[in-house]
Amino acid sequence: MAKGLDMRVLDCDEWQTLGQLYAFFGNSLLSPMNRTETVGLDPAFWRDLAGLLDGAIAGPAQDCAAWAERAAGDCSRDELVQRVSVEFTHLFVGPPSPAAPPWESANGPVESHVGFGEATYQMRERLRAVGLAQCGSSNQFEDHMGIELLYLSELCRCIADVQASMCDSADAQVKELERFVREHPLCWIGRFCDKVAASRPDGYFVHVLDCVRALFEWQVA
């Protein structure tokens, strides 16, 4: 993998892979596991992820695999799905309020549990610009980490499509993606991770978010 003009250079297949990673992590943060896929409980899945994109998230993905192996020895698959779903609700939903609010507006320099602010409006406009409506029935604020990840997934898809067509340059989309990562999710994921770790230091999502942070850092390195 190469870098040029401060942009990470990937081929079409790599952009598709990156988009799939962003989509998986985004969806994992938007719905509890008992309403989505349970592949995150499979150690082999995380070992496969560790080998993608020249090992972009190798370390934290291996940690996820180790967590999944330990957790599988503690209870049945159904019980583990329920346990992770309860953890999701405690961290990101509440009641009475989420232990780790998953919105950019709630993870700024000033401590807040409010998930609606300037970042929400900005994300709403970005989603409209790429033709993405607010998705599903979750009715989340647009600056939710999961939605920011889905936005990045859509940008990766657009870049891959442009590259595949060989009719135009995707430099503008790549610059937008990397600028967005630097100025938005990478700026607040540290505070978000700290709240998750403080509440559930041995849980599933502390390891998942380590993968997300590693992916952001790799993206702009």
Does 67 reside within a domain? yes
Between CA 90 and CA 96 the distance in angstroms is: 9
Does 29 reside within a domain? yes
Does 1 reside within a domain? no
pLDDT at 99 over 70: yes
Query: Measuring CA to CA, which residue among 46, 76, 45, 79 is closest to residue 63?
Result: 46
Query: Each residue of 23-79: pLDDT tens digit?
Result: 999 999 999 999 999 999 999 999 999 999 999 999 999 999 999 999 999 899 999
Cβ–Cβ under 8 Å, residues 101 and 115: yes
- pLDDT value of residue 116: 67
Between CA 26 and CA 59 the distance in angstroms is: 20
Helix or strand (DSSP H, E) at 4: strand 2-4
Between CA 93 and CA 110 the distance in angstroms is: 20
User: Which of the two residues, 138 and 153, has the higher pLDDT score?
Assistant: 153
Look up tokens 């159904």; give the residue. 78
**Averaged over 140-154, what is the pLDDT?**
94
Does 125 reside within a domain? yes
Does 2 reside within a domain? no
DSSP 21-75: HHHHHHHHHHS-GGGS--GGG-HHHHHHHHTGGGTTTHHHHHHHHHHHHHHHTTS
- pLDDT value of residue 134: 60
Query: Each residue of 160-200: pLDDT tens digit?
Result: 999 998 877 788 899 999 999 999 999 999 999 999 999 99
Token duo for residue 189: 């994921």
User: How many structural domains compose the chain?
Assistant: 1
Cβ–Cβ under 8 Å, residues 216 and 136: no
Q: What percent of the chain has pLDDT over 70?
A: 90
Does 3 reside within a domain? no
Per the omega criterion (within 30 degrees of 0), is the bond before 185 cis? no
- pLDDT value of residue 204: 98
**CATH, residue 179:** 1.10.3480.10
Does 143 reside within a domain? yes
Which distant-in-sequence residues (6+ apart) come within 8 Å of 141 by Cβ? 103, 105, 115, 116, 120
* 3-state SS assignment for residue 7: strand
User: Which of the two residues, 196 and 110, has the higher pLDDT score?
Assistant: 196
Token duo for residue 76: 């049945």
Task: Please give the model's pTM, rounded to 2 decimal places.
Answer: 0.91
- pLDDT value of residue 108: 81
Domain range enclosing 18: 8-220
Does 189 reside within a domain? yes
Give burial (CB, 10 Å; 0-12/13-18/19+) of 187.
middle
Between CA 191 and CA 210 the distance in angstroms is: 12
Backbone dihedral angles phi then psi of residue 108, each to the nearest 5 degrees: -85, -170
Token duo for residue 125: 């406009």
